[in-house]
Chains A and B, each alone.
Chain A
Amino acid sequence: MELLDWSLISSTIRMVTPILLAALGGALCARVGIFNVGLEGLVLVGAFSAIVGNHFTGSLFLAVLFAALVCVLFSWLFAYMTIGLRANEIVVGVAINFLALGLTTFALRAIFGVKGAFYDKEMAGLPKLDIPVIGDIPVLGDIFSGHSVLVYLAFLAAILLYLFFYRTVAGFRVLAVGLNPVAARSLGLKVTGLQVLAISMCGVLCGLAGAQLSLGQVTMFTEGMTAGRGFIALVAMMMGQSHPLGILASSFLFGLMDALSIRLQGFSLPTQFTSMLPYLLTIVAMFFVKEKSRAGSNQQSSR
């Protein structure tokens, strides 16, 4: 196996999808002034409920819908705690992650009676979409064709979100809330409503991210299968400065590292070092993005 070839790009696109979706969700929250550390937990819940939905309905469409719905409910918990009860969003985010890990593992045993992982041979994964004309072109076909619907949806979401933020009135309102909630409120904007809406949308996106993880790539659920991707998404969001296209670029970087680390395992490198790659790269990348990201939106560092 070659280290670099066109199928690497193709697997990068698959890997990038959950990160991109979650990061866009995080960006929506960041744009209304809420720093959502709970992405990891939300994606995990999405991954699990997608499997549950698929198992009980047998319909992939309903499964994805169910994942999004459950994630919205879960994100309302986050919204209620942070906006309603004014709890510290970081603490709530951490708790959400914990709750997601506990609940999914618990439900895995309660619903399927298994520990560790659930796999069902009967269960179908998300279908691969072959694009008519492009699919037949040699290199382009390998890269752009044959992904699940959610992959295309993720890239579409990035573009839509960009148009939403910078081309629509509602988008400007959202940005205004994030920049200065008090001023936005004095203009008569429904700050709380917009915040809840953003968090709900974040839930939908995280649900899709989870569905792509559990149904798009492997058709199974394992405990804690997000493996830090939610946190990577958080970093991708910060690196992309909550700008949809910036996030697209930074998510791509992480997806590439993810794909590369799997490929490198075929070589004689110890797996621990290859798995370390995305995290190391993230840290290196943060040396270059620090200042602007915190001026751009209302997110803070720990101090």
Chain B
Amino acid sequence: MAAVRELCKSLVQPILAVVIGLLTGAVVIAAVGESVIGTYQEMWKGAFGSFYFFTSTLARATPIMLIALGLALAFRAGVFNMGAEGQMVLGAVSAALVAIYLPGPGVVKMLAGLVAGIAAGGLWSLLAGYMEAKFRIPLLISTLLFNYIAVLFASYLVTEPFRDRSGSAALAQTVMLDKSVWLPKLFAGMSVHAGFFFAIAAALILFWVIRYTPFGYEVKMLGQNPFFARYGGINQIKVMLAGMFASGGLAGLAGTVEVLGSHYRFVDGALTVPNFAWTGMMATLLAGSHPIGIVFTSILLAAFQTGAMGVERNTEVPLELASVIQAVLILFISARFSYDWWKKRKAKGGETHGAA
């Protein structure tokens, strides 16, 4: 009974935030003179209206979920990794190039692509972690700056040396991957692909790691009280670096499955325009960095976005409705969970600390 009550209590705030988000959305819809009910109906239809739309929502949730899981690990360690976007794009472009240019049978190429994607994202993130550990350069800023560098570098790779010059010249992209490298679709003709399974598996693994392994305990210690962690003999830097690598690696995997499972090539801007990275951060915040919760919040946020596409197709309301609702949602969520955290801080009388 107590467990159920605890669960309900932890659900109240997110649900409240969703309601406030939807209400704000309603105000915005009304402001452009559209029917609120009709718009939300279209939104629901666009996200869950048919099996096809439902699988599209799941496909969109896949990278969001992977990024969110990575960020959850970093947040739990008290590290603000703001660089998911760069880590994802760098992972995606590395995976695409390896999968295209590595000689060998399809399965080998696919696996190599996955490994390359994870490694590229992880190492890029690790570099920021290393700079924090060694030179005290704040991660918050370095990871943000790294985004621009990674995205621009990937963009350079596909506009100059690795550009597909055979087809339409309008898009900067690599050549198509060989069919044998593609991640299988879960249902024929639907957009959700095997990457979704990776995301679910990652959520379960992360849940297990956080709950039952010494590393999970160290991460938790470090995030909740770095001073105690230090006295407890935890190698802070090692845990932070491992957390950064895992978090970047998951972001890299997010980009990789997008390339191998849905675009089948690296297209410049295809990963940055849908704002996967920041949506992933919101999914994490909404779920309070809980891996299983992230599965649901990622699907929820993806549903807002695919739903908003349905809205745009069928009404005059612009797509950006989704980002307005999401931003309001996160504002109210942040008020909740940092409030608890602040109270704890205050009680201890400790100095302020930059992470949630």
Contacts and interface: CB of A to CB of B under 8 A. Distances in A.
Contact of A290 (B137, B322, B326, B337): B137
Nearest to A92: B334
Interface string B330-356: 110011011101100000000011111
B79 A302 contact: yes
Contacts of B342: 86
Given A87-B335, A300-B353, A279 B145 contact: yes
Interface residues of A, number: 49
Nearest to B341: A88
Interface stretch (B147-155, B182-190, B201-209, B251-259): B147-155
Contacts of A301: 132, 136-140, 354
Interface string A213-245: 000000000000000100100110010000000
Interface in A172-209: none
B281 A94 contact: yes
Contacts of B138: 238, 286, 290, 294, 300-302
B195 to A, nearest CB: 25
A166 interface: no
A300 B31 contact: no
A276 interface: yes
Contacts of B136: 290-291, 294, 301
B26 interface: no
Interface stretch (A6-14, A102-110, A117-125, A147-155): A102-110
Interface string B248-278: 0000000000000000000000000000001
Contact of B334 (A87, A228, A276): A87
B224 interface: no
A200 to B, nearest CB: 18
Given A99-B331, A228-B148, A303-B240, A234 B320 contact: no
B124 interface: no
B78 A88 contact: no
Contacts of B140: 37, 90, 301-302
A61 interface: no
Interface in A259-292: 270, 272-273, 275-276, 279-280, 282-283, 286-287, 290-291
Interface centre among B146, B334, B341, B353 (most CB of A within 10 A): B334
Given A95-B330, A102-B324, A110-B318, A302 B352 contact: no
Contacts of B320: 102-103, 105-106, 109
A29 interface: no
Given A81-B334, A88-B338, A272-B159, A303 B139 contact: yes
Nearest to A78: B331
Nearest to B148: A279
Contacts of A106: 28, 318, 320-321, 323-324
Contacts of B153: 272, 276
A1 interface: no
Nearest to B80: A302
B327 interface: yes
A302 B354 contact: yes
B141 A98 contact: no
A286 B335 contact: no
A86 B335 CA distance: 6
Nearest to A110: B32
A91 interface: yes
Contacts of B137: 283, 286-287, 290, 301
Contact of B327 (A35, A95, A109, A291): A95
Contacts of A158: none
Contacts of B293: none
B335 A290 contact: no
Nearest to A35: B354
Contact of A275 (B32, B79, B152, B355): B152
A92 B356 CA distance: 11
A192 B322 CA distance: 33
Given A95-B334, A300-B354, A238 B324 contact: no
Contact of A102 (B31, B155, B327): B327
Interface string B71-82: 000000011101
Interface string A121-147: 000000000000000000000000000
B302 to A, nearest CB: 16
A99 B320 CA distance: 10
B135 interface: yes
Nearest to B161: A270
A99 B334 CA distance: 14
Contact of B352 (A91, A275, A300): A300
Contact of B331 (A92, A234, A282, A294): A92
Contact of A303 (B132, B155, B323): B132
Nearest to A98: B327
Contacts of B31: 110
Interface string B218-232: 000000001000000
B61 interface: no
Contacts of A81: 331, 334-335
A302 B81 CA distance: 8
A303 B327 contact: no
Give the 3 A-B residue pairs with the shortest CB-CB distance, closest first: A102-B323, A301-B138, A99-B327
Interface of B: 28, 31-32, 78-80, 82, 131-132, 135-142, 144-146, 148-149, 152-153, 155-156, 159-160, 226, 240, 278, 281-282, 285, 318, 320-324, 326-328, 330-331, 334-335, 337-339, 341-342, 352-356
14 contacts: A35-B354, A88-B341, A92-B331, A98-B278, A98-B330, A102-B327, A276-B148, A276-B152, A286-B135, A294-B138, A298-B352, A300-B353, A302-B132, A303-B354
Given A99-B323, A110-B318, 8 more contacts: A77-B331, A90-B80, A98-B326, A106-B318, A272-B152, A276-B153, A282-B141, A302-B132
